[in-house]
């Protein structure tokens, strides 16, 4: 077949075009799979958790350089905590403060880690793998922040590896390098219970001590308050009651919090979608360019075919079908590569974040890849037909 011979003659150009189509198909399959994984796995994690309501700060114009959100912090967190404890529908509540800090072992290079401040022991949220839990938070002392410092922290497995430390070691922790130099904390335990809150290595501290070293003590700031209900089935009703009492904050159910998190990350998601759209356009352009260049190289041969009586449709089937072949090869390659690549990505994400099945491939996404392949094939075929039909046969033969 003439089209196949033409493709073999220009192997580099053909390979690049096939790779372009494959990348386009692969991109849209992976984007859909990642989006599905975020919604499904994120929803399952929240539904299976013992947290039923999330209280966070309201929207702010100044975005935190650490959290990547546009939210202000909760103020007077301890006072709000005491008020929530009077609610008979609430079984448990926990304020959390999250900040990026510097941590390092003596004479080692400082590293930025994710610090989480918890009230006291952190309750049932924190399960100790090795060592012991944190005790009672004494530094808060009724809001005066003049109580005894415990200078104790928990670390997760990622921090242990990053800083090359273990339970019983002492590390420096501070908001700035100069502050960290004068602040030592003893590692009392190892836990991965809160690792889902960040993809970064983590240290867990007493809430008041983290508030003190980060400047949040002046308004008793917290990033969020987690609430566990006695009757989870009443989550929507209780959410409305708490929201009405604290209109300055955002109170979310699990599903509401997931939607909010996705909305806050809409910019990177939109960027990813833009890259996929660009990949599809580039793949189609590379396939079309290959076909048009091939037709242009053989325009005199095409003119002779027309003169000897071959129809334009016969000529298209001989030469212009190159675009369809490129699209089919690229589409098949993209679909076949996507299947093992999803497993590889899940393994990498699990090793990095500790969360399984963040990329979930559905058969519908493979069909989507087939549709993209067909669209690119039809587009290149249409351009090839337009090019062949637009040729001036007499003008091309005049120079022979």
Residue 258 covered by a domain: no
Residue 309 covered by a domain: yes
152/157 Cα distance (integer angstroms)? 17
Domain that holds residue 300: 2-43+267-398
Say how many Å lie between the first and final Cα of the chain, rounded. 25
Residue 50 covered by a domain: no
Q: What pLDDT sits at residue 245? A: 94
Residue 234 covered by a domain: yes
Q: Strand, helix or coil at 95?
A: strand
In the listed set 197, 218, 247, which residue is the last one of a domain according to the structure? 247
372/290 Cα distance (integer angstroms)? 18
Do residues 231 and 354 both lie within one domain? no
In the listed set 182, 212, 247, which residue is the last one of a domain according to the structure? 247
Do residues 84 and 230 both lie within one domain? yes
In the listed set 196, 214, 247, which residue is the last one of a domain according to the structure? 247
- How confident is the model over 340-391, as pLDDT tens digits? 999 999 888 877 766 678 888 999 999 999 999 999 888 888 887 777 777 6
Question: What residues contact 144, with CB distance under 8 A and at least 6 apart?
Answer: none
Do residues 344 and 221 both lie within one domain? no
Do residues 130 and 162 both lie within one domain? yes
Residue 49 covered by a domain: no
Do residues 75 and 159 both lie within one domain? yes
348/329 Cα distance (integer angstroms)? 28
Do residues 195 and 300 both lie within one domain? no
Task: With a cut of 50, list the residues of the chain below it in pLDDT.
Answer: 60-70
Beta bridge partners of 102: 112, 174
Q: What pLDDT sits at residue 320? A: 63
Tokens standing for residue 138:
């004494």
Q: What pLDDT sits at residue 334? A: 93
Q: What pLDDT sits at residue 264? A: 62
Do residues 276 and 169 both lie within one domain? no
Do residues 68 and 39 both lie within one domain? no
- How confident is the model over 293-333, as pLDDT tens digits? 777 776 677 777 767 766 767 766 666 677 788 889 999 99
242/236 Cα distance (integer angstroms)? 10
| Cβ neighbour number for residue 310 with a 10 Å cutoff | 14
Q: What pLDDT sits at residue 62? A: 36
3-state secondary structure 136-162: CCCCCCCCCCCCCCCCEEEECHHHHHH
Q: What pLDDT sits at residue 275? A: 80
Residue 314 covered by a domain: yes
Do residues 16 and 148 both lie within one domain? no
Residue 324 covered by a domain: yes
Number of domains in the chain: 2
Do residues 229 and 339 both lie within one domain? no
Q: What pLDDT sits at residue 71? A: 60
Do residues 304 and 363 both lie within one domain? yes
Q: What pLDDT sits at residue 392? A: 64
Q: Report phi then psi at 226, rounded to 5.
A: -95, 140
**CA triplet 79, 188, 51: central angle to 5 degrees?**
45
Q: What pLDDT sits at residue 122? A: 62
Strands (E), 234-390: 249-253
- Compute CA distances 331 → 1, 118, 277, 337, whole Å: 21, 50, 16, 10
Residue 29 covered by a domain: yes
Do residues 283 and 380 both lie within one domain? yes
């Amino acid at each position: 077949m003439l089209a196949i011979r033409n493709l073999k003659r220009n192997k580099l150009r053909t390979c690049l075009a096939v790779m372009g189509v494959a990348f386009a198909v692969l991109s849209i399959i992976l984007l859909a799979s990642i989006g599905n994984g975020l919604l499904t796995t994120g929803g399952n994690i929240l539904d299976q958790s013992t947290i039923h309501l999330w209280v966070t700060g309201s929207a702010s114009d100044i975005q935190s350089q650490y959290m990547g959100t546009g939210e202000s912090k909760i103020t007077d967190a301890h006072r709000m905590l005491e008020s929530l404890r009077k609610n008979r529908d609430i079984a448990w509540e926990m304020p959390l403060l999250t900040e990026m800090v510097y941590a390092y072992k003596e004479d080692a290079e400082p590293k930025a880690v994710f610090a989480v401040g918890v009230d006291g022991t952190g309750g049932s949220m924190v399960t100790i793998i090795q060592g012991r839990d944190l005790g009672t938070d004494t530094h808060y002392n009724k809001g005066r922040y003049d109580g005894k410092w415990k200078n104790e922290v928990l670390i997760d497995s990622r921090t242990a590896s990053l800083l090359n430390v273990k339970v019983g070691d002492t590390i420096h922790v501070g908001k700035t390098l100069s502050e960290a130099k004068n602040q030592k904390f003893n590692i009392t335990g190892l836990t991965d219970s809160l690792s889902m809150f960040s993809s970064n290595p983590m240290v867990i501290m007493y809430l008041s001590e983290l508030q003190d070293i980060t400047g949040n003590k002046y308004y008793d700031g917290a990033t969020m308050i987690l609430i566990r209900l006695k009757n989870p089935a009443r989550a929507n009703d209780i959410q409305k009651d708490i929201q009405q009492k604290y209109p300055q904050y955002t109170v979310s159910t699990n599903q509401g919090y997931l939607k909010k998190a996705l909305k806050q990350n809409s910019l990177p998601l939109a960027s990813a979608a833009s890259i996929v759209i660009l990949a599809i356009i580039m793949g189609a352009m590379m396939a079309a360019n290959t076909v048009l260049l091939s037709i242009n190289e053989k325009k005199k041969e095409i003119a002779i075919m027309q003169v000897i009586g071959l129809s334009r449709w016969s000529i298209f089937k001989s030469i212009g079908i190159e675009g369809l072949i490129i699209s089919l090869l690229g589409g098949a390659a993209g679909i076949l590569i996507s299947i093992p690549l999803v497993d590889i990505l899940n393994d990498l994400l699990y090793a990095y974040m500790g969360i399984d099945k963040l990329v979930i491939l559905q058969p519908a996404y493979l069909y989507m890849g087939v549709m993209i392949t067909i669209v690119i094939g039809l587009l290149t075929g249409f351009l090839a037909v337009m090019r062949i039909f637009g040729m001036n046969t007499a003008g091309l033969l005049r120079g022979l």
